[in-house]
């Protein structure tokens, strides 16, 4: 299915972004220009760019898809994402900008007595967070290309083609335009994706959508979803109930769909794929059927709390978001930036929740009525890949134009976030590592060249990760995979950086050893639990084993963040090595511009 309108819109967006990057290449002559746009970005422009950075494929494709698949459990994504900038505006935005460094590792180095190990741990965490965040953008690129074009190039399948195209484009325009070009592009891309979301919501209301009415309508019966599995998995009895999925599906599928699935099971090989429609289980109340408007589809009470906590806290440690505050000219501008961000974020996620409910109602009706060919897309009116919800809604409401504009919005979301991630990662490699340790006396042209090289290398690494996702079956193990993977990035960010950043800015007594203990236990602890969850869900470890039990924590933040805080406080209280210049540091973080000038002149102590 090739959509000429969608291709043209994406090409127009592509030409504009490359044109901006080509124009702004003249502003990348120095390190501060390349990484921070000369610290001259105004608050409204920066607010739009931050939202472009923030509204990734997880926001544009994933949140609505999560609501579609899981109802109220999916709404928690929008709630967490939407509330995430409150801690930023209250605790971090102004102090971080006033401190005046380049990156989070820079802040850690300067705050804790010029300790190299603090910066190195920061670099490691920045790269881990960036890779966790790049992975869902790559997956979104591949799945969106499948909807947009449906065909590959140069012998590649459609999914791989989408990943390759996005990586090549992003590596080119980020390396060329630096932070200034990336900022302008992110601003434009944000307004494209924001209006695309608004278009879908408007389409729902123009077709008679009523949120309360249709929420009640889709919540009447047991929540059902598709699940793609191998023939072997479909015929293996559940250890708790003793019923195989193919047998359980008989009561939840239409006669024709079930017979088609049964034929694949009987005639297929063990590794052949079959799509079943299954009644979903209620994890909060196992004795009750699962309904769309109730919590419990994906998460236990612990995972629900931990997920929201990860989203609310995680933003405060995302390197590609926090680095943007260094581009503001002042602490006041940083605070105003965040106020505008809160307005944009709140509006966007309300619309995403509406789109998820609308999709559950309208697309099911459209598939069953034959208005959309469900072949390869849906079974019994339910999507096989829920992350395709937004493009399909755009097409349903507004035809080829709607599909084209929504797909352009999806690519805008991916390009914008990938651009910010590549810049943050490049700043960590180039500024934090190369300029500080490898070649401190490098000329400006060489610093910029290293930054551009880092952009290209990280883009290639993200390409490998994107291709590996379906190879290892992650797309089959997790519904709403994009939103899930982004939440992992938030979990690492919240666990590794947020306790240290907040305590580092608001508690004088924190020490280097305390910060190191918190970042290590929190950050690496989160990574460990996430990988155990992946191993459990992909059946690489036995879910009933000890390792499988460790993997049952979908989001570990409710454990790893408190552990990090306790480690910081206890170690700092036992440690006597408080930075000797803590008062000077406090003036940099909390002093007004006048006070900082007077201290620099020796007028105040």
Instruction: Using pLDDT thresholds of 50, 70 and 90, give the confidence band for residue 602.
Output: low
Mean pLDDT along residues 570-581:
88
> Is domain 4-217+293-597 classified as CATH 3.40.50.720?
no
Mean pLDDT along residues 427-442:
83
**Any idea which of 245-254, 433-442, 477-486, 573-582 has the lowest mean pLDDT?**
477-486
Spatial CB neighbours of 399, under 8 Å, sequence gap ≥ 6: none
pLDDT digits (tens, 9 = 90+) for 145-187: 776 667 777 788 888 888 888 888 878 777 776 667 777 888 8
Total Cβ atoms within 10 A of residue 498: 28
Q: Length of the chain, please?
A: 605
Count CA atoms closer than 13 A to 210's CA, side-chain side: 5
Handedness of CA 13, 19, 23, 25 (dihedral sign): positive
Count CA atoms closer than 13 A to 214's CA, side-chain side: 21
Of 387, 356, 312, 229, the residue nearest 555 (C-alpha): 312
Beta strands 378-379; 382-383: pairing state: antiparallel
pLDDT digits (tens, 9 = 90+) for 294-351: 988 888 888 888 888 888 898 888 887 777 766 667 667 777 887 888 889 899 999 9
Model pLDDT, residue 29: 65
Model pLDDT, residue 428: 80
Q: Rounded CA gap, 479 and 474, in Å?
A: 9
Whole-model pTM: value is 0.80
Model pLDDT, residue 1: 45
Mean pLDDT along residues 545-552:
76
Count CA atoms closer than 13 A to 604's CA, side-chain side: 11
98, two tokens: 């006033």
3-state helix, strand, coil in the chain (%, to 5): 75, 5, 25
- What integer best gives the mean pLDDT of the chain? 83
SS (H, E, C) 372-417: CCCCCCEECCEECCHHHHHHHHHHHHHHHHHHHHHHHHHHHHHHHH
Which residue in the block uniquely carries the two structure tokens 């996430």? 530
pLDDT digits (tens, 9 = 90+) for 369-387: 888 888 888 899 999 988 8
User: Helices (DSSP H) in 31-156: which residue ranges?
Assistant: 31-36, 43-54, 57, 64-70, 72-83, 85-87, 93-99, 104-111, 116-148
pLDDT digits (tens, 9 = 90+) for 266-302: 998 988 999 999 999 988 888 889 999 998 888 888 8
Domains of the chain by residue range: 4-217+293-597, 224-279
pLDDT above 90 (res 564):
yes
Of 354, 313, 412, the residue nearest 55 (C-alpha): 412
pLDDT above 80 (res 477):
no
pLDDT above 70 (res 362):
yes
Instruction: Using pLDDT thresholds of 50, 70 and 90, give the confidence band for residue 534.
Output: confident
pLDDT above 60 (res 448):
yes
Model pLDDT, residue 338: 79
Specify burial of residue 410 (Cβ count, 10 A radius: 0-12, 13-18, 19+): buried
pLDDT above 80 (res 571):
yes
Q: Rounded CA gap, 480 and 328, in Å?
A: 35
**Any idea which of 157-171, 372-386, 531-545, 569-583 has the lowest mean pLDDT?**
531-545
280, two tokens: 């979903």
Model pLDDT, residue 214: 92
């Amino acid at each position: 299915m090739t959509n000429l309108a969608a291709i043209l819109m994406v090409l127009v967006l592509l030409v504009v972004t490359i044109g901006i990057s080509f124009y702004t290449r003249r502003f990348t002559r120095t390190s501060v220009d390349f990484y921070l746009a000369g610290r001259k970005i105004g608050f409204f422009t920066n607010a739009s760019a931050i939202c472009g950075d923030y509204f990734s494929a997880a926001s544009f494709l994933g949140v609505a898809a999560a609501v579609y698949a899981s109802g109220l459990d999916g709404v928690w994504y929008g709630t967490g994402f939407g509330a995430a900038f409150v801690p930023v505006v209250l605790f971090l935005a102004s102090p971080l900008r006033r401190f005046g460094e380049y990156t989070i590792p820079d802040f850690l180095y300067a705050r804790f007595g010029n300790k190299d190990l603090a910066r190195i741990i920061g670099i490691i965490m920045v790269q881990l967070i960036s890779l966790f965040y790049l992975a869902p953008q790559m997956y979104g690129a591949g799945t969106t290309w499948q909807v947009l074009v449906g065909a590959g190039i140069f012998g590649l399948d459609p999914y791989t083609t989408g990943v390759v195209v996005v990586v090549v484009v992003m590596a080119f325009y980020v390396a060329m335009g630096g932070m200034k070009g990336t900022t302008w592009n992110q601003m434009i891309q944000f307004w494209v994706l924001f209006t695309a979301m608004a278009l879908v919501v408007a389409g729902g209301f123009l077709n008679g959508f009523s949120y309360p009415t249709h929420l009640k309508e889709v919540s009447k019966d047991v929540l059902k979803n598709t699940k793609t599995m191998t023939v072997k998995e479909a015929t293996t009895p559940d250890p708790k109930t003793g019923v195989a999925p193919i047998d359980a599906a008989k009561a939840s599928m239409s006669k024709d769909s079930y017979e088609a699935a049964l034929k694949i099971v009987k005639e297929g090989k063990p590794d052949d794929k079959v799509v079943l429609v299954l009644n979903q289980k209620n994890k909060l109340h196992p004795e009750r059927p699962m309904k769309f408007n109730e919590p419990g589809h994906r998460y236990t009470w612990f995972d629900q709390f931990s997920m929201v906590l990860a989203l609310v806290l995680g933003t405060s440690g995302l390197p590609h978001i926090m680095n943007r505050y260094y581009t503001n000219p002042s602490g006041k501008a940083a605070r105003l930036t965040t106020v505008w961000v809160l307005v944009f974020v709140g509006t966007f996620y309300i619309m995403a929740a509406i789109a998820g409910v609308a999709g559950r109602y309208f697309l099911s009706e459209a598939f069953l009525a034959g208005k959309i060919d469900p072949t390869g897309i849906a079974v019994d009116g339910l999507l096989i890949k829920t992350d395709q919800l937004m493009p399909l809604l755009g097409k349903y409401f507004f035809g080829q134009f709607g599909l084209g504009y929504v797909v352009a919005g999806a690519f805008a979301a991916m390009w914008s976030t990938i651009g910010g991630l590549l810049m943050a990662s490049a700043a960590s490699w180039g500024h934090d590592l190369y300029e500080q340790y490898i070649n401190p006396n490098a000329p400006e042209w060489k610093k910029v060249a290293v930054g551009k090289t880092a952009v290209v290398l990280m883009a290639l690494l993200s390409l490998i990760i994107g291709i590996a996702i379906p190879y290892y079956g992650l797309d089959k193990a997790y519904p709403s995979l994009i939103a899930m993977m982004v939440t992992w990035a938030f979990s690492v960010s919240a666990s590794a950086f947020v306790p240290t950043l907040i305590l580092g800015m608001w508690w004088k007594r924190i020490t280097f050893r305390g910060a190191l203990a918190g970042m290590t236990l929190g950050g690496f602890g989160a990574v460990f639990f996430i990988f155990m969850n992946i191993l459990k869900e992909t059946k690489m470890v036995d879910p009933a084993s000890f390792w499988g039990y460790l993997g049952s924590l979908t989001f570990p933040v409710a454990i790893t963040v408190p552990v990090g805080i306790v480690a910081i406080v206890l170690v700092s209280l036992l440690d006597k090595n408080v930075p000797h210049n803590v008062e000077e540091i406090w003036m940099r973080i909390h002093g007004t511009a006048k006070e900082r000038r007077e201290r620099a002149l020796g007028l105040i102590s």
